[in-house]
Every structure is written in C-alpha cells, then in structure tokens.
Structure 1
Amino acid sequence: MTTAKDIMHSGAQWIPAHETLDRAAQMMRDHNVGSLPIADENERLCGIITDRDIVVGCVAEGHDPSRVTCGDMAKGTPRWVESDADVDTVLEEMQGHQIRRLPVIENKRLVGMISEADLAQHLSDEQIKAFVSSVYAGS
C-alpha cells in the first residue's frame, strides 16, 4: 500500500504564525516552494500561506507584507493527513476540499507536504485525471 509518506516531499518547513509575510516570501524563495504551513505557538498547524495569498491578499490590497503576519492570513480549518494514510485518503482529502497542497503529519509534527507535482510522479494517469477534474472544476 502506497502511503502519504511514500509520495510526500520531505523536509517541509513551518512558519510561525507571528512571522510576517515578507519573511514567509523569503522562506518560500529559499526553499523553492509556493506555500508554507503556519504553526501556532504550540507548533500545531493553524493554516497554510501561499505565494498567491501574499500577492492577492496583502500586496494587491495595499497592505505592507512586513507588517501583516502569517497568522493574520490564516483562514478556515487547515487540512492534513497522517503519514500512514493511504493514497485514496490523500486524494479524498485534496479532492473533497479542492486543495492543491496537503501537509503530512507524524506524531503531531510536520514531516512533509504533498503537492500536485508529487501526485503527478506517483499516481496513475486515471488518478491524476480525476484529481485535476475535481480540484480545478470550481476554479
């Protein structure tokens, strides 16, 4: 059985909720990623910040990314899967919530992220087609 841990990109980094968006952008640049999980003071997942969130939700609205925190931008209930979740569970979570990036948790700690690129490398053409159809249907 293929698990979330088998297909995830390991080495994902948290960004603390109190950090500013300019710091998040720097971390994204340094790690060559488009999103970062946001951690609260107890290192619990409280959201995900994307490069698009920074541009559209902050800069385009005329806000200063050096003054807005990641926690300010965290909205909704963050979605995640355990590292031992099977691929069907991963797909159900991502498709059911129309999300493109999914944190992977093990022993209450972030161990990786699953992105569309990870799915493309590990899934069948039929699974990828179903994923794309459901996640992008409402876009």
Structure 2
Amino acid sequence: MSSAVQLIRSADLAAAPYAYAATAPAGSRLIFLAGACPLEDDGSTTAPGDYAAQAARCVETLDIALRASGATLSDIISTRVLVASSSQADLVTAWDVIHGAFGDHDAPSTLLGVTVLGYDHQLVEIEAIAAVAEDAR
C-alpha cells in the first residue's frame, strides 16, 4: 500500500537530506507517537554512551509502535530527533543512523541537541507523527 504522505521539496531552498514539508490528504488518520526511546525489553537503556546504537534502537522502537498503529516508517509525516549532547558530531552520528533507516522517505525533521533526556544514560529520542489513509488499519 502506498503512503498517504506527500513529501514537498522546493528548488528555492538549500539542498537538504530531508523534505522541507509534508502533507496528507483530507480524511487521513493522524498518528501521534510518544518519543521512541532506546529501551531494551527489560527496561534498561541500550548501549550507554553509544549514540549510534541508541539511535538504531529508537528506530526499532518507533517501527514497532507504528506497526501497532497500522503504519510504517514511510507513513511518517515529520520527526523531531532529540540528542543529549552539545556536540554537533554526536547529533550527526545519531542523525546518520536515523536518516539511513528512513531510506528514500526523507520526511521533514528537526534535529536538536538537548541537555538531558528522561531515562538513565539515554542519549537519543525520536518523536514522530504519521498519517495513513482513513481506511488503513
């Protein structure tokens, strides 16, 4: 099934590794996902100190929540990626993993460095909104 999400680009803006905007048609069902965190099944934090491993686990968590909602990564309309670091290199490390997981579906995203996240040793979190056709469940 094809996604209801339409990614929007503009030749009038700088080239970027993501779409600048996205829309979904009227009648789409929006899915607002809680922040996907790098938690293992036992509640422990994945790979303390490892931005890439935590980003990968966040994508896995996001994917599971999407499937439970009747959606996939290609239904994401936008994301916000939070990285607990003041180092741009750490943000890029997390971003590269997340961006790679999305492949050609480069939904609009905001990448932020933050002071601290909610779980012990947590370095990465992904917030997302998805859109699916109303009859897709």
TM-score bin (small chain): under 0.3
Greater relative contact order: 1 or 2 (C-alpha under 8 angstroms, separation 6 or more)? 2
TM, length-normalised to structure 1: 0.26
